[in-house]
């Protein structure tokens, strides 16, 4: 995925049914998690594991150079 300055709309939170592994390949971004207001300033090589249904949002992405992400979604095993 490539972002060029996009961010989550005000008040919007992702709430995904699957676990997600995300790594930032280029650019920079800020992710925020709901509850406790955790903020992560990401640079190339930084990664996060986001468990299913952990609400989060993209507060900011670098536009130039573009922010490049690799995100892998995987279903939780019972």
The predicted-structure confidence for 26-53, as pLDDT tens digits, reads as follows 999 999 999 877 899 999 999 999 999 9
- At residue 76, the pLDDT reads 76
pTM given for the model = 0.89
Q: Which residue has the higher pLDDT, 1 or 8?
A: 8
- At residue 35, the pLDDT reads 85
Which two structure tokens, joined as six digits, stand for 10? 């005000």
Residue range 19-32: average pLDDT? 97
Rg (CA), the chain: 12
18 close to 50: Cβ distance less than 8 angstroms? no
Percent of the chain residues topping a pLDDT of 90: 88
Cα 38 from Cα 65, distance rounded (Å): 25
């Amino acid at each position: 995925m490539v972002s060029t300055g996009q961010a989550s709309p005000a008040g919007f939170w992702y709430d995904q049914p699957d676990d997600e592994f995300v790594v930032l390949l280029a650019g920079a971004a800020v992710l925020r998690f709901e509850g406790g207001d955790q903020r992560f300033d990401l640079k190339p090589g930084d990664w996060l594991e986001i468990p299913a249904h952990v609400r989060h949002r993209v507060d900011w992405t670098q536009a130039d150079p573009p922010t490049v992400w690799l995100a892998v979604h995987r279903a939780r095993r019972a």
